């Protein structure tokens, strides 16, 4: 149960006052919040975060979008946190995101898809290390774990 994932509310999510509803999706599913901060990212942080995408034609627009305002960077813990986090967020292109997912409920265009979720356990480790110092990650046991999970 030590798996963690990196979830980020993008600038449009903040501008559209969706911070609380997005956080509620993860709390309601039984994830544990272990780190959170509001960050206006630097160019270099966004380049590193999206290192695999910097040569894509959409990258300049993506970078401008990600630098347009602050983001909420978070680390959430839970069973299969990375895979489940992706499922909660929904498909990259909101035109294909199922209703009930965050993107499927709040978004229309791929370039304004309000939230990021790590796409694997390995990506989560890399992204958490990029956005947070080890001392910014909290270690605690929520009192309801035995009610969230059959086997803790």
Q: What are phi and psi of 5, to 5 degrees?
A: -140, 155
CA distance 110 to 152: 37
Whether residue 58 is annotated as binding a ligand: the answer is yes
Tell me which residue has its CB nearest to ligand UDP: 92
Task: Say if residues 77 and 35 touch (Cβ distance below 8 Å).
Answer: no
Q: Considering the rule CB under 6 A, would residue 113 count as an interface residue with ligand UDP?
A: yes
- Which of 12, 68, 78, 74 is CA-nearest to residue 40? 68
At 39, list the tokens: 């960050």
Q: Which segment (16-24, 110-118, 124-132, 138-146) binds ligand UDP by CB under 6 A?
A: 110-118
Q: Which of 21, 92, 121, 136 binds ligand UDP (CB under 6 A)?
A: 92
Report the alpha-carbon distance of residue 50 to residue 26 in Å, rounded. 23
Q: Does residue 110 touch ligand UDP according to CB under 6 A?
A: yes
Would you say 27 or 96 has its CB closer to ligand UDP?
96
The residues binding ligand UDP (CB under 6 A) are 53, 58, 62, 92, 110-111, 113, 116, 119
């Amino acid at each position: 149960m030590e798996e963690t994932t990196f979830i980020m509310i993008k600038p449009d999510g903040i501008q559209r006052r969706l911070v609380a509803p997005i956080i509620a999706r993860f709390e309601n599913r039984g994830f544990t919040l272990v780190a959170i901060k509001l960050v206006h990212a630097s160019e270099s942080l966004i380049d590193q975060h999206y290192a695999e995408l910097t040569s894509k034609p959409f990258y300049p627009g993506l970078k401008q979008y990600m630098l347009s305002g602050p983001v909420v960077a978070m680390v959430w813990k839970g069973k299969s946190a990375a895979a489940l986090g992706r499922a909660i967020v929904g498909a990259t292109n909101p035109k294909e995101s199922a209703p009930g997912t965050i993107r499927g409920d709040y978004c229309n265009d791929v370039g304004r898809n309000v939230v990021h979720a790590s796409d694997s356990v390995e990506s989560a480790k890399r992204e958490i290390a990029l956005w947070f110092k080890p001392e910014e990650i909290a270690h605690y046991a929520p009192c309801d774990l035995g009610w969230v999970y059959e086997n803790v």
